Amino acid sequence: GRPKQLLPVQGEPLLRFTLQRILTTSLDVVYVVLGHRADEIAASIADLPVHIVANPNAEQGQSTSVLAGLRAVVPTASNAVMILLGDQPQVNPSVVNALIARWQEVHTGVVAPRYTDGIGNPIVFDRSVLPEFSALRGDTGARAIVRAHQERGDISLVAVDAPAPRDVD
């Protein structure tokens, strides 16, 4: 009966726990997209240095959250955007930093981690890739965009000697 973002993880709401890990990285700014029960969830992270973005169309699927976040970020993004999942509490801050460092080094369209069980999240998208997101619809994320860049050779993979972090689903 509660939003998953508020489920307890080590004594903290899931989203708060995840954000506290993310905020230790070298990311410049963090935007958090909230949909259903946004006010209740936002209250659990109100004291964290993040920007809240409302997604009034969340019931239409994951793509609407991605697009809401990008609409907020694009005017301020200098060169690239990283998409992280708020329901992956085990995302490793060192992986986030490694992805940022790789993008700064190679400036490919997409930089993603290659875990021992495959490509996963989080993922860096160069600013030049962002227009491709306009085609997203329904309950889909950026998987097709990543796949297309992989087929074109416009992706850089960072090896991570661990399985991908699980999400709470």
List pLDDT tens digits, range 90-139: 999 999 999 999 999 999 999 999 999 999 999 999 999 999 999 889 88
Q: How far is 72 from 53, CA to CA, in rounded Å?
A: 7
Q: Which amino acid is at 158?
A: V
Residue 154 and residue 110 in contact, taking contact as beta carbons nearer than 8 Å: yes
Which pLDDT belongs to residue 167? 83
Q: How far is 107 from 104, CA to CA, in rounded Å?
A: 6
Residue 153: which residues within 8 A CB-CB, separation 6 or more?
A: none
Residue ranges in the chain whose pLDDT is less than 50:
none
Q: Which amino acid is at 109?
A: G
Sign of CA dihedral 101, 146, 164, 41: positive
Q: Kindly state the tokens that stand for 8.
A: 């307890």
Which pLDDT belongs to residue 77? 62
